Structure 1
Amino acid sequence: MQYDEKRLTRIVATDCGSTTTKAILIEWIDGEFRQTIRGEAPTTVEAPLNDVTKGVINATQELEELARLKYHNPNIKFMENGEFVIPRKGDVGVDAYVSTSSAGGGLQMMVTGVVASMTGESAERAALGAGAIVMDLIASNDKRMNHEKIERIRELRPDMILMAGGEDGGTVKHVVEMAELVASADPKPRLGSGYKLPVIYAGNKDAREEIVKTLGEKVDLIITDNIRPKLEIENLLPAREKIHNLFMEHVMKQAPGYNKLMEWTVGPEHEQVPIMPTPAAVGNIMQAIAKEENIEVVGVDIGGATTDIFSVFTKDFIFNRTVSANLGLSYSISNVLASAGLENIMRWVPFDIDESELRNMIKNKMIRPTTIPSLLEELVLEQAIAKEALRLAFEQHKSFASSLKGMQKQRDISEAFSQSVSGETIVNMMTLDLLVGSGGVLSHAPRRNQTVMMLIDAFLPEGITRLSVDSIFMMPHLGVLSEISTKAATEVFRKDCMIYLGTCVAPVGKGKIGKPALYAKLELPDGSVFEEDIPFGEMRLIPCEIGQVAKATLKTHSGLILDADRKKELTVDLHGGKVGIVLDTRGRKPFVLPADKNERISALKKWMKALNAYPEHILS
């Protein structure tokens, strides 16, 4: 249900992350919605407090105190007797409270299918679209022995299982075999011992009777429409709706304090506003940006436990989401080291460091997830690890997006097959218009220039790409807010959430270090002109403020190209930002760092100086 500004003049929104609970206040001021105050506190879903609402109360109390200071009004009170004050009474209370959550690791699922690359992959897309982390995909043809599959189900203890397989009217044998595996495993839920594990069956409708016989007594079985009713049709929406409902009814109620939190979320008419998984909320906003501005977008949310990548590509606004469940910067930071390798992390560090020192820093971050770097060297290391986490997550996203054609209710699979055969991803960096970063390491970097460097090094944008960052990691709040007021969510998004960092110009192709790569002439709004024939292997930063535009003439050398039409010469408007316009002639496809350690460190320092990313003394 949507409400207008007459019913919504003050809204509190929280996002309960795996490490931190973030609260924001949104108010109707001078004819528009604006985000005015923010507060945060450690998330309290784990021992010793075991109650997520404690963190929400702490973050909201900070909002209250700051609001009283801002408005010189000691009567402002958002919570009273452990509940949000609704409706407003004069200057007291709020009109609505909404929340998202990924605390406790978010929604963790397993999916099963008959053929991994078909019904299994469809089940995985349905789960990802509902905001879940897919812990494993088990299929009849995945080459594991049955006892290994059973052991895997027992070991992972997911929040729920989604079972798919078989087209309607087809054979039931393989689907029933998968159900027998689940029954043999007798899986127990991760949270809560007093209820059965929810299992959604979205496979061949002819097998339903056998599925009920096999699983009915052992699990909480929910039956819904077949995800793949015919080989050429994919029908994800019914399964996604069941996942979301079960997440609310079962999983969240079992997590410490969530049943209380669910009672708190409320709209202007005292109706409950469902808590959304954080990734689903971010996905809402990403799709809204793309459709409203008619652009192609890639967004990333890097957290403590997971890294989510969202993309919207092609004229049909095809939306994809992937979750890298083992790539994060606190709980999962050791997994980043294991996945990327020490060498790949150290290639971004412009100084020597002992391996044991790096490992100690990583382990300390894992066991003390709320700490932040206290030394500049630690900051550089953490941002190097972030680059690798982002790079790996994006590689996973591109490979997953290669054979899927979006999250529509019905989808023509023949298109997906044509892509799988060619092996091409629909993620095209040359046509990408906007790259959006969010998550603590990107949103809270001490210098926005560091955020620009992390985004460019990790994603390697091609051609001309605008860069932006979620100012205070507000996208989840706005995603769930859009459920009751799209107007409030979009206004706050434009005015307060997005900080445009600038534009990256990166010619694609190979070149020789030191040889001319890009002639650039930029006429800047202040009347000055930047003009240079930039050698290959360099970076330049040209200051140009948010809202300003530089008239640019660009010409490449040595076969380098500037856009999807393979043009080598462009006259184009380049948008400024908080950091400015970056000209990156380090090459793409491939992008190669110097193999020699001393040369690499020298190059890193040169690029960091060019972008003004760190204080001078660390780069000397």
Structure 2
Amino acid sequence: MYTQPNSGGEQGTALHATASSLLVADCGAVSTKVSLFGLVEGQYRLMARGEAPTTIAPPQSDITVGVIQAISVIEFITGRHFIEDGRIISPEQSSGDGVDVFIATVSAGGPMRLAVLGAVNSPLEKLVEQAISGLYAEIQSIASPSYVATTTQAPTSVGAGMSGSPSSPGGKWTQEQVTQEWERQAARIRDLQPHAALIVGMADGPAGPTPLQEACQLLVNASKERSALHGASASAGVPTQDLGVSPYPVIYAGAPQYVDAVRRMLQSVAEVNRLDPLTSQAQVGAVSVAVGALHEKNVIQQIPGYDRLRTWSESQPLATATSLSSLVRFLAQHYKMNVTAADVGGATTTVMLAGEQGEFIPAVNSGVGVGPGVGAILQQVGWQRIARWLPFTVSEDEIRQYVLNRVMHPQIIPTSMRELQIGQAFAREAIIVTVADAKKQSASWLDSDLILATGGILAHAPKYAQVAMMLLDALEPRGVTSMVLDRTMLIAQIGAIASVAPITAVQVNENDAVSHRLGTCVIPFGDLQPGQLAVRVGVEYSNGRQLTVDVMAGSIEVVPLRLNEQALLTLFPAPGVDVGLGPGERARAAEEIDGGLVGLIIDARGRPLVLPSDDTERQARLLQWAQVLGA
């Protein structure tokens, strides 16, 4: 299993060990959240929190404006002052004004676009996908024309519709067809407008070293086109900030004997960073670190107002995904359990799974979210996949109108239950497609002991049971797991704190971030027969009261178990049904489980979850499940 390295480092751990106050900003695509942490009776606690729209777009075009607006909310709440002359007051003053440490995480600015060039085959493409799976990056694989011509059957027709996907070798390509392939590749780079490029492939393939040479030539041609476009736009008075003519950053992870030749070809158009050839998972980590560094340099550092934001902190702003990955792995190691985090944002959906043995499976789905990224979900899954989660009939036009409104006005809140449920249906699909991407990168998938949920649409849900239902539907956990809602959206911020002050991170996590415990879930799986008993649940409360509940296959039941209440569980699954110890094996908890805001949830709907195909039946079941859960 691939374990991604921690690119966040250990910067500042000793430096901030004695800080009495911290101000942490999380700058998202839609909103900026700022939290104040301080010592209360010897424990670090959340003191106040402010939120404001992110301001990287005109008319402000300065990310610090939104940060200051969010800090102003904290100043109003606390009566303290943190900003003076447009700067953070630091360290904390004897008057109580100021703060000892300021930390920022950033997911605004969009993903980094990476063109993967050279002798790109399916195994190499999969390795690259693994390398960027925990980063704000999206790739476009563009195999060199000679590699395509030697590994695919010649197309029967020449034109834009011909395929470049690998297939069985066939007839020889004509020169006209190769020329058409060159034009198609150049058009793909033109459309992508990549921030950077990754050149891969060895020289022992059917095309030899030619694909590496052609990859360089494609970048040279793209650079000339970009320069010409930049000049024409400047002459016409068109803003050219998105069409800069700085050299392409290039990561070269191909045949080592040709690195000097690549540098000579690209000396006027690219800055080449050499890595060991990408041939196996052993090199994935190095590629991930290199791409992460390019994202920081070419996306985060280019955000309007970044330079000012950077001067407020002794450490560089972290990508929010990096911060979240630090926390998930930290919690898995600290509590010795498998931890899954699901973060549904406006433009990015992230699912990360960390195991107690050091396993780590990250998936950052850039461009997929419930704000500006909602259109990408619709494009990927289709409107019927959205409609299947709705307990009412909906038309394609209504779904598309919802998407249009969200893309144009991502900060609006739902004005009706119908609109709320459509948004939550999109959130389910955002998680589902992200989990599917994560599973492509890993040979095995761990059952989670703890699920952390964060992101605006989850944190702001009117009912806790709605969050529980979304997580059960989308993540499809199995066995016994606990679910926690990060209502204050602190998880990513705590990850940033963990890199500089681990003790602070643990205390804030336990005291504030995970205070909204939804409850413990028991999810039997295996041979569940509809209408038949799935599992008998014995509950022994701390006060001695006992309860037995029979749960039928296809149903959800909620057993009363309140927040701060505990009980011992005994599970008697039906033959062929598994609750985590094997089919038909009885399970008795060695320790008491915790209750929560929803209670003890028994989800016997089966895994994988299959909804009824009949619309009327499906809608009735959705309503029934929601009513039982209290959603």
Q: Which category describes the TM-score, using the shorter chain as reference length?
A: 0.7 to 0.9
- One-letter amino acid matched to 1:123: V
The residue that corresponds to 1:385 in the other structure is 426
The residue that corresponds to 1:416 in the other structure is none
Distance 1:146 1:473 in 2: 47
Contact 2:263–2:272, Cα closer than 8 Å, also in 1: no
Is 2:531 the counterpart of 1:514? yes
Is 2:606 the counterpart of 1:606? no
The residue that corresponds to 1:334 in the other structure is 375
Distance 2:506 2:119 in 1: 42
Judging changes above 3 Å, is the alpha-carbon distance between structure 1 residues 181 and 584 closer, same or farther for their aligned structure 2 residues? same
Q: 2:89 aligns with which of 69, 85, 88?
A: 85
Contact 1:167–1:226, Cα closer than 8 Å, also in 2: no
**Secondary structure at the counterpart of residue 257 of structure 2:** helix
Contact 1:169–1:206, Cα closer than 8 Å, also in 2: no
- One-letter amino acid matched to 2:407: M
The residue that corresponds to 1:213 in the other structure is 264
The residue that corresponds to 1:287 in the other structure is 329
Report the Cα offset of residue 610 of structure 1: 0.6
The residue that corresponds to 1:298 in the other structure is 340
The residue that corresponds to 1:585 in the other structure is 604
Distance 2:106 2:558 in 1: 38
The residue that corresponds to 1:133 in the other structure is 137
Report the Cα offset of residue 543 of structure 1: 2.6
Q: 1:550 aligns with which of 534, 553, 567?
A: 567
Judging changes above 3 Å, is the alpha-carbon distance between structure 1 residues 7 and 385 closer, same or farther for their aligned structure 2 residues? same
Contact 2:29–2:108, Cα closer than 8 Å, also in 1: yes
The residue that corresponds to 1:110 in the other structure is 115
The residue that corresponds to 1:25 in the other structure is 36
Q: 2:487 aligns with which of 457, 471, 484?
A: 471
Contact 1:303–1:439, Cα closer than 8 Å, also in 2: yes
Deviations 1:2-57 (A, max 9, x none): 13777411111111100001100111222121122110100111122211111111
Q: 2:201 aligns with which of 148, 154, 165?
A: 165
- One-letter amino acid matched to 1:175: L
The residue that corresponds to 1:225 in the other structure is 275
Contact 2:130–2:441, Cα closer than 8 Å, also in 1: no
- One-letter amino acid matched to 2:189: I
Distance 1:6 1:480 in 2: 14
Deviations 1:97-156 (A, max 9, x none): 111111121444333453433444333333334x23223233456735343232222211
Judging changes above 3 Å, is the alpha-carbon distance between structure 1 residues 587 and 51 closer, same or farther for their aligned structure 2 residues? same
Within 5 Å, which residues of 2 pair with 1:467-546?
467-498=483-514, 499-546=516-563
Judging changes above 3 Å, is the alpha-carbon distance between structure 1 residues 474 and 224 closer, same or farther for their aligned structure 2 residues? farther
Computing the radius of gyration over CA atoms, which structure comes out larger, 1 or 2? Answer: 2
**Secondary structure at the counterpart of residue 178 of structure 1:** helix
Q: 1:151 aligns with which of 176, 187, 191?
A: 187
TM, length-normalised to structure 1: 0.86
The residue that corresponds to 2:5 in the other structure is none
Within 5 Å, which residues of 2 pair with 1:312-461?
312-313=354-355, 316-402=357-443, 426-428=444-446, 431-461=447-477
- One-letter amino acid matched to 2:424: Q
Contact 1:295–1:434, Cα closer than 8 Å, also in 2: yes
Distance 2:273 2:296 in 1: 17
Is 2:219 the counterpart of 1:203? no
**Secondary structure at the counterpart of residue 406 of structure 2:** helix
The residue that corresponds to 1:597 in the other structure is 615
Distance 1:250 1:342 in 2: 35
Distance 1:549 1:227 in 2: 54
- One-letter amino acid matched to 1:332: G
The residue that corresponds to 1:262 in the other structure is 310
Q: 1:309 aligns with which of 351, 355, 371?
A: 351
Distance 2:84 2:260 in 1: 51
Deviations 1:584-615 (A, max 9, x none): 111124x22222222212111111111001xx
- One-letter amino acid matched to 2:525: V
**Secondary structure at the counterpart of residue 100 of structure 1:** strand
Contact 2:127–2:280, Cα closer than 8 Å, also in 1: no
TM, length-normalised to structure 2: 0.84
Contact 1:18–1:102, Cα closer than 8 Å, also in 2: yes
- One-letter amino acid matched to 1:595: S
Contact 2:344–2:369, Cα closer than 8 Å, also in 1: yes
The residue that corresponds to 1:94 in the other structure is 99
**Secondary structure at the counterpart of residue 234 of structure 1:** helix
Is 2:103 the counterpart of 1:62? no
Distance 2:481 2:39 in 1: 33
Contact 1:517–1:536, Cα closer than 8 Å, also in 2: yes
- One-letter amino acid matched to 2:601: V
The residue that corresponds to 1:49 in the other structure is 60
Report the Cα offset of residue 194 of structure 1: 5.6
Contact 2:251–2:275, Cα closer than 8 Å, also in 1: no
Is 2:577 the counterpart of 1:560? yes
Report the Cα offset of residue 92 of structure 1: 1.5
Distance 2:574 2:300 in 1: 57
Distance 1:564 1:352 in 2: 40
Contact 1:503–1:582, Cα closer than 8 Å, also in 2: yes
Distance 2:136 2:116 in 1: 11
Distance 1:245 1:584 in 2: 43
**Secondary structure at the counterpart of residue 109 of structure 2:** helix
Distance 1:275 1:358 in 2: 37
- One-letter amino acid matched to 1:593: L
Report the Cα offset of residue 236 of structure 1: 4.2
Deviations 1:398-456 (A, max 9, x none): 12223xxxxxxxxxxxxxxxxxxxxxxx114xx32122211111122111111100000
Judging changes above 3 Å, is the alpha-carbon distance between structure 1 residues 190 and 137 closer, same or farther for their aligned structure 2 residues? farther
Distance 2:511 2:210 in 1: 56
- One-letter amino acid matched to 1:20: S
**Structure 2 unmatched runs, 5+:** 1-11, 149-163, 166-180, 227-239
Judging changes above 3 Å, is the alpha-carbon distance between structure 1 residues 227 and 77 closer, same or farther for their aligned structure 2 residues? farther
- Between the two proteins, the alignment pairs up a number of residues equal to 569
- One-letter amino acid matched to 1:17: G
Contact 2:17–2:500, Cα closer than 8 Å, also in 1: no
- One-letter amino acid matched to 1:251: V
Distance 2:540 2:296 in 1: 54
Distance 1:514 1:119 in 2: 47
Question: Which one is further off, 17-26 or 321-330?
Answer: 321-330
- One-letter amino acid matched to 2:613: A
Distance 1:441 1:232 in 2: 38
Judging changes above 3 Å, is the alpha-carbon distance between structure 1 residues 387 and 250 closer, same or farther for their aligned structure 2 residues? closer
Contact 1:227–1:234, Cα closer than 8 Å, also in 2: no
Deviations 1:139-197 (A, max 9, x none): 45673534323222221123322333339999644333322222222285984626333
**Secondary structure at the counterpart of residue 104 of structure 1:** coil
Distance 2:25 2:396 in 1: 39
Judging changes above 3 Å, is the alpha-carbon distance between structure 1 residues 192 and 151 closer, same or farther for their aligned structure 2 residues? closer
